[in-house]
Amino acid sequence: MKRALILVAALSLGGCISLLPKPPPPPRTFMLDAGDIAPAQGQPIDAVIAVAQPTGERALLGSDMVWSTGSEVAYVGHAQWSAHADDALQALLVQTLSRQHRFHAATRTGETSAQYEVRWEVLNFQVDNASMTAHFRADVKLTQAPGRQVIAQEIIEASAPVADRSQTNAAAALTQAARDGAARIALFAADAAMQAEAARAEQASQAQAR
């Protein structure tokens, strides 16, 4: 009798377990990286540039991919970045600046002393459902040490078409928009720093002539 009760209890427990829903599949994970970057044309700058972590709306800078439908913010289902977008975008810009070879070195803010720093706010990083386009937009400032004086500021924009509504193509378009935006930020920073270096050299020359 005791053995029968144990068997019934085991069968009942097994029945309960079989009724539980299956767990959903894990989300697909995509890398947000710099890819291949060609050296940029222009005079090299003997200075180190640092990149601050970007600021912006939490929805844009998390691990989810944003897909906007009109005034509503949605996300690409069952897909995510391998890191939070703010960390990934910071690393992407550091890699872009480093591989363009305009500056002596590029680093994250706080890792080492730097003569220049990129401070930026991400204003848009999402797929627009109406136009099927991935957009990147940032308010970028270049500051100069000491004192973090702002020497240049510009709104940088980039976009890339989204081939279809698949996770793969949404991630690819957002990555391309981010890469193009980072390349433009790097060129903006190098040109602004070059002008600052020329102005500093001119001031030093005038001071010596007096």
pLDDT bin (cut points 50, 70, 90) of residue 72 is confident
pLDDT, tens digit, 9 for 90 and up, residues 131-141: 999 999 999 99
pLDDT, tens digit, 9 for 90 and up, residues 158-173: 999 999 999 999 999 9
User: What's the average model confidence in pLDDT over 70-99?
Assistant: 95
Q: Are strands 79-81 and 103-108 parallel, antiparallel or unpaired?
A: unpaired
Among candidate residues 162, 143, 178, 188, the one with its CA nearest the CA of residue 40 = 188
User: What's the average model confidence in pLDDT over 44-56?
Assistant: 97
Domains, the chain, ordered by start = 27-199 (3.40.50.10610)
Q: What is the pTM of this model?
A: 0.86
